[in-house]
């Protein structure tokens, strides 16, 4: 468990307890698209409200946050993770406002779907076991969920599922992660590597001086995998994403930028 994941789970559980004991206090927190001007705060507060008639609603959302959230938070840091979470939730409400104006929504699903997008963004080939049995790469899972939500939303979103909120969560997370990538300069680095593959040694510097023991345990396995790949098939076999990842672990004095 990481700090923000812990805070969010506790907050959701506490609000659910209030729902069970004092339900009248919860109504103003629900996001009703038609009332957004009267309840502007509900675009955020709805993320902490769940269906009081089904414990499975909050349970599945918190399970998703518990399994996907910690690794994403450790990768992004607490501030960026919180931004990802709330931006995804708000974008879920906004898409619902545009495409499902007559449907009130509650639940952390849009925000959790944004965290799921973050997980697939950084670990696209990580296998997720559906029902604990069926293995599927995380990026394929996101594509399948997106397709299903789109089909269900356009068909009428039966069963009280906020499909457009889910899609909005994915969209908000994707745009936020894309912005982060560009803001960090990673995109420029990847373009430079793709434009001049022979310069990879100069861009990355002396990768042999990388010490995996100095990397955070979350990144250590990936770093060791990349170093093993270089030893087996050479530096030129790395993808732009792998080169970008490796660059962060090369001692600064050993990096040799292109002239």
Q: Which positions are annotated as active-site residues?
A: 109, 166
Instruction: Indicate if 153 and 238 belong to the same structural domain.
Output: no
- Determine the structural domain holding residue 208 and report its residue range: 186-254
Tokens 């997370």 correspond to 173
Give the tens place of pLDDT for each residue, 201-234. Answer: 555 656 777 888 888 777 888 888 888 888 887 7
Query: Does residue 9 sit within a domain?
Result: yes
> What is the mean predicted confidence (pLDDT) over 136-153?
83
Residues 59 and 129 in one domain: yes
Q: In terms of domains, do 179 and 190 share one? A: no
Residue 259 lies in a domain: no
Mean pLDDT of the chain: 84
Residue finishing a domain among 160, 183, 206: 183
What pTM was computed for the model?
0.71
Tell me the DSSP string of 107-151: SSHHHHHHHHHHHHHH-TT-EEEETTTEEEEHHHHHHHHHHHHHH
For the cut 90, the answer to whether the pLDDT of residue 68 exceeds it is: yes
Same domain as 33, residue 123:
yes
Query: In whole angstroms, what separates CA 192 from the centre of its chain?
Result: 27
Whether residue 58 is found in the same domain as residue 154? yes
Same domain, 93 and 159: yes
CATH of the domain at 107: 1.20.1540.10
Model confidence at 243, pLDDT cuts 50, 70, 90, reads: confident
Question: Of 60-74, 116-130, 158-172, 219-233, where does the model show the most confidence?
Answer: 60-74
């Amino acid at each position: 468990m990481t700090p923000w994941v812990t805070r969010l789970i506790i907050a959701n559980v506490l609000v659910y307890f209030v729902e069970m004991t004092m339900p009248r206090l919860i109504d103003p927190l629900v996001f009703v698209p038609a009332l957004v001007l009267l309840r502007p705060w509900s675009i955020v507060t709805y993320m902490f409200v769940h269906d009081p008639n089904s414990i499975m609603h909050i349970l599945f959302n918190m399970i998703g946050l518990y399994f996907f959230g910690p690794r994403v938070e450790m990768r992004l840091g607490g501030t960026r993770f919180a931004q990802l979470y709330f931006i995804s939730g708000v974008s879920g409400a906004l898409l619902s406002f545009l495409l499902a104006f007559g449907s009130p929504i509650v639940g952390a699903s849009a925000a959790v779907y944004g965290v799921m997008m973050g997980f697939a963004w950084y670990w696209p080939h990580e296998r997720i076991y559906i029902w604990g049995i069926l293995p599927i790469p995380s990026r394929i899972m996101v594509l399948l969920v997106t397709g299903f939500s789109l089909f269900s939303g356009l068909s009428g979103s039966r069963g009280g599922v906020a499909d457009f909120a889910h899609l909005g969560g994915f969209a908000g997370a994707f745009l936020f992660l894309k912005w982060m990538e560009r803001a960090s300069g990673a995109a420029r680095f990847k373009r430079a590597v793709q434009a001049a593959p022979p310069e990879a040694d100069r861009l990355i510097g002396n990768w042999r001086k990388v010490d995996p023991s100095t990397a955070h345990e979350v990144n250590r396995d990936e770093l060791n995998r990349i170093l093993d790949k270089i030893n087996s098939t050479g530096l030129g076999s790395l993808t732009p994403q792998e080169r970008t990842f490796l660059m962060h672990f090369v001692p600064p004095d050993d990096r040799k930028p292109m002239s």
